[in-house]
Chain A
Amino acid sequence: MTPQEMVERALELSTADGCVVLVDEESTANLRFAGNTLTTNGVARSSRLTVISIAGRGVGVVSRAAVRPEQLAAVVAAADATARDAQPAEDAGELVAGGPASASWDGPVTPTDIEVFRGFAPALGEAFASAEAGGRRLYGFAEHTLTTTFLGSSTGLRLRHDQPSGRLELNAKSADLKRSAWAGVATRDFTDVDVAALDAGLAQRLDWAKTRVDLPAGRYETLLPPTAVADLMVYLFWSAGARDALDGRSVFSKPGGGTRVGERIATLPVTLSSDPAAPGIGCAPFVTARSSSRESSVFDNGLPLSATDWIADGRLEALLQTRYSAGLSGLPVTPSVDNLIMKGPEGGRSLEEMIASTERGLLLTCLWYIRQVDPQTLLLTGLTRDGVYLVEHGEVVGEVNNFRFNESPVDLLGRLTEVGAPEQTLPREWGDYFTRAVMPPVRVPDFNMSTVSQAS
């Protein structure tokens, strides 16, 4: 049974008032390596059927993997029965009305497999040899995943999205593991990944680190590269739920009630946005929700997504909304989109140009183990990782110890003194869940390095 047939058959079988069916077909291949050698690898395929039945205001969601044709009726019946027994769902509403089917609806699913690394694996092997000869050790992970989602509904939706996702994380260390540098790239198919160039860049950073400068905790002028900015802004994005803001729980709550939408939160004219059609970081153009939560609603399945500004010219423009939460807040329906783009004023400089214009400051590589300390201010804590460099008179003069930081990305937006040229980047920490980001480097005049970390 094809995924499309499974959608149609499940919809036919449902006796509920309404029904949404999602089928996710996923294939993945990966290579993991450490110390210039392979550690683990694998290929896998999975298939998941999710049936969302609606009975009155009750909802039943049953999601099963590897469903065989003879099991389909039981899965649908279970979802229908759960819906009939369920408490009324607070987000209950009309299902999204159907329109034309996706142009690709009828096409077959073409899985990825280990052959996606046919050109990349030998290049990685050569990089291992080069690193070995240069006294470096390479660590990292390469993964390619293809997820195809079919969404059908009793209201006539027939939508399909094919999402290729790939990434290479490359970490070079000196032989004594005292010096470390990292680079990450997102890719759709690994044909555009230049391992040798990445390794060369890391070798340069390891050279920078041969001069060691110990600095104490304190506030420093700091240059954050795009990957570090991505990790902070993705956290901000995930924390931008409208319902939490309305309930007074988040940094986007207005004292006394309501949300901070419309309020200026960045001094510079910063824009934070998402766009399903953004070049190179395209993502699903419609909502897929396999269960309801504070930021998603199963009733919104199939709702079209479009370019959305979350922050425009420094002002908070929108929060993550379902149709239900938009009704509560009186704000537009702005559901989450699976990419994030930050831009500053036109003409932003490259990171290299920003380094060249720095009198004295820190240059970070990336951030790690970022966790929320206080939701009211969105105070986050975390560590610097894989290279903190001291810049003096426009040049990197050595590597500094790592630090633990305590900072709020919202507060940072109000303190930025420079926003550089945006580029596609891979969030170091959140790359497992969020690979599609375009971010600029930024300059912070007083980044709070709370304590020194001995980690190297």
Chain B
Amino acid sequence: MPYIEMPKLSDTMTEGTVVKWRKAVGEPVGIGDVIAEIETDKAVMELEAFDGGTLQEIYVSEGGKAPIGEKLALLLAAGEDAPQKDHRAAKTQQVNPLAVSPSRRSPAPAKAEKATAPVSRGRVKASPLAKKIAGAKSVDLALIQGSGPGGRIVARDVESAPVTPAAIPTAAATIPVLPPGLGDRRIPLTGMRKIIAERLLASKTQIPHFYLNIEVDAGELVRLRAHLNEHLEKSGQGKLTFNDFILKAVVAAVTKVPRVNASFAGDAVIEYSDIHLSVAVAVEDGLVTPVIRQAQKKSLREISEAVKDLATRARSKKLKPEEYQGGTLTVSNLGSYGIDGFSAVINPPQAVILSIGAIVKKPVLNAQDQIVPGHRLAIGLSADHRVVDGAIGAQYLAELRGLLENPAALLL
């Protein structure tokens, strides 16, 4: 039998995961050689070859699962012909006949596969002129979406692309990790986790972050909201959350300091006229940032309704792509999780993200230097220093503070 199949490695095993291929396609395999590492429900075990030959094809890629007996690879002895290709009864989760690159043979158990952000593609299709311009401008073609025939990258695509730094770290872990032992769990990345990994790594490595923090007197906000909600409840209307007020204030402050609503575009800063507000929403195994479009045109009530709708649909994974793309500024609120204050990672290609903490009751000094009970709200601003300088960030936070400490203006 020239096929290598998923073996039964434990009594309770029904399926296994190929953690790593130790042999690459085209490599000779001797009897007893370890050809792969298989993870069962209990442990990672080595798969040894019972026959010698050459590894001809791999059907289950690293990270892919297969039930017991499923064909994992094709091993041909010298002079043996490949059988008819009828084996791709796709019972496995990933049945990719991969082209295994030599880099997979590296001893590090972490995946060394080259990942390209944001969308991993195989061969880059680009015109000769596009390649030359990209070379001259240090633009990474792998990051560009082509607009030419068949999605080919043409000159205009490169000319309008932002300049990328020479070395782009890949999202794949490049630092060796401890191999999972008995009782450890290996959790393959979902599509969402991969995107989070890629985007946030790109953000932290490519965007020069700096952080500003303020503490706002939220006393008036607490009083106003309680007062309003009392009335809203009586009239049967939905209540307003602190977050609704904060979002409205964030947007209103942007209209005063529009520079924060911007992106760094390589040879220019693009300042957006519309405020498309991304709101971070925690979902199962990740987070999404649905977008409130043209938030500057929306009232407090409209923002409240929009965010409620988007968050609900985000949690049930019912958002359309256009509903979580194209934001110009993000708010991340961990107040309901009891976090006092934090500094979020910028959501690229935006220039700033606001980190909202909990409204905390604590002793404060009043105007007469007396210790009195007060409500305090910690707000952090993480900014891309290429777009926003410290003074601009401070100016923005001062506007935001003014609005939150006099929240009645937000009702207008």
The judgment on whether A and B are partners is no
A interface vs B, CB < 8 Å?
none
B interface vs A, CB < 8 Å?
none
